[in-house]
Amino acid sequence: MRIELITIGDELLLGQIINTNVAYIGGKLGKVGLRLAAQMSLPDEEAELERFLREALERSDVVITTGGLGPTVDDATKAVFCSIFGKKLSLKGEILDDLKRRYGENLSEAVRSQAVVPEETEIIENKAGTAPGFIFTGEDGMAVALPGPPRELRPMFEEIVLPRLGRLAASGGFFLEKTLRTVAIREADVDRRMRQVIPDVEGVQYGLMARPYQVDIRLSCVTEGKERAEALISEAERRVRDEFGESIFGEADQKLEAVVGQMLRQSGLSISLAESCTGGLISSRLTDISGSSDYLRGTMVVYSNQWKQELLGVPEEVLMQHGAVSEQTARLMAENVRGKGRSDIGLAITGIAGPTGGTSEKPVGLVYIAFSDGEETFSKKFSFVGDREMVKFRSSQAALEMIRRYLLARKKGAD
């Protein structure tokens, strides 16, 4: 089954946004044994769009488009599809009613226009926005039109489009993949170790995705039949897990903050944070997880020495003698935020995010992270490379990893 993807929008060609829909849709198709044969990005121009869309439909069984369904002047997709599939546009009462329920009785013309849809066409409901999607079927195959914003497109693709395509493709070679995420190991080291691990499982390939302070290992295979593919991937996964053990923190799209959040919840422990160089990033990541108020008491972003002294109680002498970026300061920050925050755990971070503020003794990227549970306090020194945002992000990864390792060790001790 040949599938092509057309992403629509001037902004994609002008370099205003990076197109993440291609990798997303390509990756999701892979999970059901399918893949993209080609992808193109086109401007919001009706004539151009119609020409490429007709050609793609001739070549392929399925063409998916994203974007161009909004209510603004440069959105042309609906008209082009109607021209190709010989449909008329008309106002659909149910969609209008639903829009009124969600956005009130007095809809703007723009929002109201979203209820004008091709007749006799399958509609895909958009729960996260105003533009519905469409599935057209004709002699030349099937076309699926989805809105462009990822948060609107993703649920529509996963709930409606993907299962439909999966059923369509049920015959043919089966493609299977599985991703395991590691933290705190270098890409080169993961690669070296994977070369030893993987040759034993014939037919399975691996690919690495290096992210900040994290490397994802992607195992994949194409074989006849789902069962054989599952057996191969599961054997490869077992070997990778044997090799990397606790360095693997999750699978596929799982985020480190979600894993740490879940572990904190299970442990029943509460936590407070004191952040300096990360400026609130660790706290913001932990609070991206729903229910985090059950374990996170609060965070002090002590961005000035005055806050470190007056609000967190780090003595002036310590700051004078060792500096704000020092092991001593980090440890006191962790102990004090734990006490003031009345929580089981205190975690603190101080460092130099750059690009200015570094010295030969304390260069940009120097970071201390300290952890206190009331019985003991320990700390670790890091040297991170990268620009300001990268140093902040790597630091937040290392801090989350420190919490994860503590909770793993504690759980083992309890077992």
Number of residues that bind its own copies (CB under 8 A): 103
Contact 259, 402 (CB under 8 A): no
Region 82-141 residues binding its own copies, contact defined as CB under 8 A? 108-111, 128
Count of Cβ atoms closer than 10 Å to residue 397 Cβ: 21
Beta carbon of residue 414, minimum distance to its own copies (angstroms, whole number): 26
CA-based R_g, the chain, Å? 26
Candidate residues 67, 118, 147, 354; the one interacting with its own copies per rule CB under 8 A: 354
Q: Which stretch binds its own copies (CB under 8 A): 90-98, 234-242, 282-290, 400-408?
A: 282-290
Count of Cβ atoms closer than 10 Å to residue 70 Cβ: 20
Place of tokens 């992607």: 218
Region 143-202 residues binding its own copies, contact defined as CB under 8 A? 149, 151, 177, 179, 186-189, 191-192, 195
The answer to whether residue 307 forms part of the interface with its own copies (CB under 8 A) is yes
Count of Cβ atoms closer than 10 Å to residue 302 Cβ: 24
Beta carbon of residue 118, minimum distance to its own copies (angstroms, whole number): 22
Beta carbon of residue 63, minimum distance to its own copies (angstroms, whole number): 13
Q: How far apart are CA 271 and CA 403, in angstroms?
A: 10
Question: What single DSSP character describes residue 363?
Answer: -
The answer to whether residue 69 forms part of the interface with its own copies (CB under 8 A) is no
Candidate residues 65, 267, 292, 395; the one interacting with its own copies per rule CB under 8 A: 292
The answer to whether residue 43 forms part of the interface with its own copies (CB under 8 A) is yes
Beta carbon of residue 207, minimum distance to its own copies (angstroms, whole number): 5
Q: Which of 273, 277, 267, 287 is nearest to 347 (CA)?
A: 273
Beta carbon of residue 258, minimum distance to its own copies (angstroms, whole number): 12
Q: How far is CA 203 from CA 169, 221, 229, 230, 320, in A?
A: 22, 6, 9, 12, 61
For 316, list phi and psi in degrees, rounded to 5: -55, -35
The answer to whether residue 218 forms part of the interface with its own copies (CB under 8 A) is yes
Region 365-394 residues binding its own copies, contact defined as CB under 8 A? 386-390, 392
